[in-house]
Structure 1
Amino acid sequence: MSRVEFHPLGMREDGSEWIVGRADTGSHIAVPPHGVLAIRLLQQGLTTSEAALRIERETGQRTAVDSFVASLAALGFVRRLDDREVSSPPPVRPTFPRLRAAHVRWALSPVLHGALLTVAFAGAVAAAFNPRLRPHWQDLLWSGQGTVVLAAQAALTWALLFLHELAHLLTARAAGVPGRIRLGTRLQFLVMQTDVSGVWQCDRRTRFTVYLSGMVLDLALAGGCLLAEAAAGPHRLLAVVVLTKLVAVATELLVFMRTDVYFLLQDLLSCRNLYRDASAYARHLGSRLLRRPGRDPLTGLPPAEQRAVRSYALLMVAGSAGSLVLGYLILTRVTLVLLGRALHTLAAPPGWTAAADAITTAVVLLGLQGLWVAAWWRRHSARVRAGAQWGLSLRPVAVRRRDAAFRSVRFGCRLGRCLWSRRRGG
């Protein structure tokens, strides 16, 4: 019999279940209706035993409220049990913490969204009727100095990526959801991404707005640049912005990675964690191919969600394989070649211009690779350490098995020599 004090929790109905979670940590779970009833009764001050009796009286179902509370405490949802503080993960520090929902309420305005889409559509119409406005790949080579083009394009790309992520952050913050912009990895790609996990507790329109806000801003910027070129004439910098934004929108369509369109698709398909479930199902199929059958990870999911996960798993495997092959080709035939040329030039530079060009190229390439490694390690370091500890814990067993195998092989060799000598002697 305990009294429970929760952290601030958000709850919304989602089909036959409810989504419950903390916006400040981004942790969310799906619970049945009587679980939500238990939380609400405990929030009203009832003890766990009193809440269990009340639920049984109102629904006719017996609920192990004590076990349910223990599970919620393990997830970090419980602040206090009776007079005892419960340890829980600290809230994630958001980007721009002083920015409040009241400051950016306009980010959810349908009028703003309509204006941005109008600019994007008008720019597309202008480019359709004026071929000179359409960007070309040659527009990226706006300078004869390759290093200048490389450094300027990198700076422009990161600035535009920040604006994209800022759109996600502002729309999420307007909905009362803290967000954090950080560097991350998607396969071999270094990306800037915004963690807005707390948006799960918002209504569908708000969730879709947060998912699509970055792409809408990208299209509006591209449309605005096209309109500026239509009014003042073609300009190389505006063409570079248009091309960069169109490429950014195109990459969001690679749904085999967790892009903006992926999260929209996941929500439309009513899947809880499409990527994780598809990864587990792909590993399950791999185990079956190796004749190591196990329990199907999709058991227990609704039939419609199972079909969606199976289809997405095929897309994820094929897309990831193709992306990794492309990444390998770019690494070996472009990145390493450019880096090798830069280092060769630095070994015996013909002049200060060539040396500066080589240094800039090396700094940009090595800097990007270093950022990728740092972002990958931050995300996967715990898993790597756990795997290393698991491997060390199995090492004595592996050594014993190896010694046993060696002894059996040695015994077999002795037996073989004995039989062979007897055969020869006979």
Structure 2
Amino acid sequence: MNLSYATKVSLRPLNIKKDKNHFIVEDIDLEEFYEMPIPSVDAIELINQSINLEEIECTLKLKYPEDEIDILEFVNQLVEFELVSKLDGKEITRSNGPKGELGYSWIPVNLGKFFFNKITVKLYIAFLAASVGVLILKPNLFPHYKDLFVFDLMIENVAAWLFITFLLVILHEFGHVLAVRSEGLPARIELGHRLFFVVLETDMSQVWKLPAEKRNKLYLAGMYFDMTVLFIVLTAQFFTSEESILTGLLKLVVLDTFIRLVYQAAVFMKTDLYYMIENWTGCYNLMENGQNYLSKWLPFLKVSHTETFAGEEKLVRRYAIFYLAGVLLTIAITAKFYIPQIIFSMKEFMLPGLTEPFNSLRFWDSAVFLLQIVLVAGLLFYSWSKKYRSSR
């Protein structure tokens, strides 16, 4: 787009708030948020005062002599972000309309505050500490990959696992929803994926309306509910028979919840813990900048066109270490749980079942299990294709 210092620029309605290190600029109409340094914020305020672009550039160069100021390049960026409404009086239309309405506004704010306040947050942390203590004192309660196989038929095991996982994921995401509602904001649960896993995700874009110190509670809310579930289910095993079906189901809940909590440390997948780290550091492109940094040695990593602000280089280098540690953790979890589960299920269930007569229960158990694998792969492909289409 051809711009000159004589170009008249009109911006869309924006709301600007000071954050930890820089400023959060909200596109009020679309409720989208951008992080900008103070020279950019000053430029926006001067543009809104209808000051000539050349004069704005001179003013900013005098005020910020150590920064590289290019007002025309900045206006071009604002046009790309669709934050400009008019250029020389000519209306600029948006490529996309407002997002759909976020929901769950019917949930009372007081209900959210009941589950998420200063006392309950400490209680959730205490549950996690108690669970660690139980696993140390009773190592036989530590999850094992065979805990997935509660029943004699694979279709029963998969059905139990899917049902339990679905309930626990809903509970995890509902924790986020309740935390968001505790601040009087709306939320929405969507389908997405992380690495090879189909997941439900809570749209918490509205958290940027809050100051940084209030966001961590919202990011960690799902983990708090997971910690509670883990403590309750571990404790419940003290009161059940070791060989009962109920104990087997409780072990399955422990396995599922334990893996979900451990995976939070895999920050290369933008987990809840990752967003907490972003918020704590005030560096909001940690993963992208970390990948850019690591791409010097790992060229297969995707390079993002993101900006590293002054003073963030040290944080990015430290995050890169956690990024690699998260990759190693994922490999370790896969090696300890998922690969043995796949091998065990194929060896003990699917392959022997497929050799059974066509009209036998074992054969159809194996066939349905195979169909389920194809179905999950299809859902994952749909999630990936959806993300690819949206990125285009």
**How high is the TM-score relative to the length of structure 2?**
0.73
Which amino acid in the other structure matches residue 18 of structure 1? F
C-alpha distance after superposition, 1:187-210 (max 9, x if no partner): 333333333244244222222112
2:37 paired with 1:32: yes
- Taking the aligned partners of 1:326 and 1:121, their CA distance within structure 2 comes to 21
2:254 paired with 1:242: yes
Contact 1:3 1:48 in 2 (8 A): no
2:280 paired with 1:268: yes
| Equivalent of residue 194 in structure 1, options 171, 191, 202 | 202
Which amino acid in the other structure matches residue 152 of structure 1? A
C-alpha distance after superposition, 1:215-255 (max 9, x if no partner): 11100112223444556777413333233212211111122
- Taking the aligned partners of 1:249 and 1:121, their CA distance within structure 2 comes to 13
Contact 1:38 1:51 in 2 (8 A): no
Indicate how the Cα distance of structure 1 residues 317 and 121 shifts in structure 2: closer, same or farther if over 3 A, else same: closer
2:162 paired with 1:157: no
Indicate how the Cα distance of structure 1 residues 223 and 95 shifts in structure 2: closer, same or farther if over 3 A, else same: farther
**How high is the TM-score relative to the length of structure 1?**
0.68
| Equivalent of residue 316 in structure 2, options 306, 309, 312 | 309
Q: How does 1:179-258 map to 2 (within 5 A)?
A: 179-230=187-238, 235-236=246-247, 237-258=249-270
Question: What percentage of residue pairs aligned between the two structures are identical?
Answer: 22
Contact 1:4 1:42 in 2 (8 A): yes
2:50 paired with 1:47: yes
Partner residue, 1:292: none
Partner residue, 2:155: 147
Indicate how the Cα distance of structure 1 residues 132 and 316 shifts in structure 2: closer, same or farther if over 3 A, else same: closer
2:176 paired with 1:171: no
Report deviation, 1:260. Answer: 1.7
- Taking the aligned partners of 2:101 and 2:250, their CA distance within structure 1 comes to 33
- Taking the aligned partners of 2:329 and 2:135, their CA distance within structure 1 comes to 32
Q: Tell me which structure has the larger Cα radius of gyration.
A: 1
Partner residue, 1:393: none
- Taking the aligned partners of 2:283 and 2:218, their CA distance within structure 1 comes to 18
Report deviation, 1:170. Answer: 2.9
- Secondary structure of the residue aligned to 1:47 is coil
- Taking the aligned partners of 1:5 and 1:348, their CA distance within structure 2 comes to 70
- Secondary structure of the residue aligned to 2:268 is coil
Indicate how the Cα distance of structure 1 residues 74 and 193 shifts in structure 2: closer, same or farther if over 3 A, else same: same
C-alpha distance after superposition, 1:266-302 (max 9, x if no partner): 33333231111122223334569xxxxxx99899643
- Taking the aligned partners of 2:161 and 2:120, their CA distance within structure 1 comes to 29
2:342 paired with 1:334: yes
Partner residue, 1:9: 15
Partner residue, 2:3: none
- Taking the aligned partners of 2:281 and 2:155, their CA distance within structure 1 comes to 45
Aligned length: 372
Contact 2:13 2:28 in 1 (8 A): no
C-alpha distance after superposition, 1:77-98 (max 9, x if no partner): 3567768464253333355354
Which amino acid in the other structure matches residue 382 of structure 2? A
- Taking the aligned partners of 2:211 and 2:126, their CA distance within structure 1 comes to 25
Report deviation, 1:18. Answer: 1.3
| Equivalent of residue 111 in structure 1, options 119, 125, 131 | 119
Which amino acid in the other structure matches residue 308 of structure 1? L
- Taking the aligned partners of 1:370 and 1:296, their CA distance within structure 2 comes to 28
Q: How does 1:91-102 map to 2 (within 5 A)?
A: 91-93=98-100, 96=103, 98-99=105-106, 102=109
Which amino acid in the other structure matches residue 9 of structure 1? N
Which amino acid in the other structure matches residue 74 of structure 1? E
Instruction: Give the root-mean-square deviation of aligned CA atoms.
Output: 4.6
Partner residue, 2:26: 21
- Secondary structure of the residue aligned to 1:96 is coil
- Taking the aligned partners of 1:14 and 1:125, their CA distance within structure 2 comes to 36
Indicate how the Cα distance of structure 1 residues 332 and 69 shifts in structure 2: closer, same or farther if over 3 A, else same: same
- Secondary structure of the residue aligned to 2:162 is helix
Which amino acid in the other structure matches residue 153 of structure 2? Q
Which amino acid in the other structure matches residue 206 of structure 1? K
**Which consecutive residues of structure 2, in runs of 5 or more, have no partner in the other structure?**
1-6
Greater mean deviation of Cα atoms: 102-111 or 118-127? 118-127
**Which consecutive residues of structure 1, in runs of 5 or more, have no partner in the other structure?**
289-294, 387-426
- Taking the aligned partners of 1:296 and 1:254, their CA distance within structure 2 comes to 20
Greater mean deviation of Cα atoms: 137-146 or 371-380? 137-146
Partner residue, 2:364: 356
C-alpha distance after superposition, 1:308-350 (max 9, x if no partner): 3234335535754785798699679937983997588568734
| Equivalent of residue 81 in structure 2, options 71, 75, 80 | 75
- Taking the aligned partners of 1:350 and 1:121, their CA distance within structure 2 comes to 51
- Secondary structure of the residue aligned to 1:9 is strand
Indicate how the Cα distance of structure 1 residues 369 and 206 shifts in structure 2: closer, same or farther if over 3 A, else same: same
Which amino acid in the other structure matches residue 82 of structure 2? G
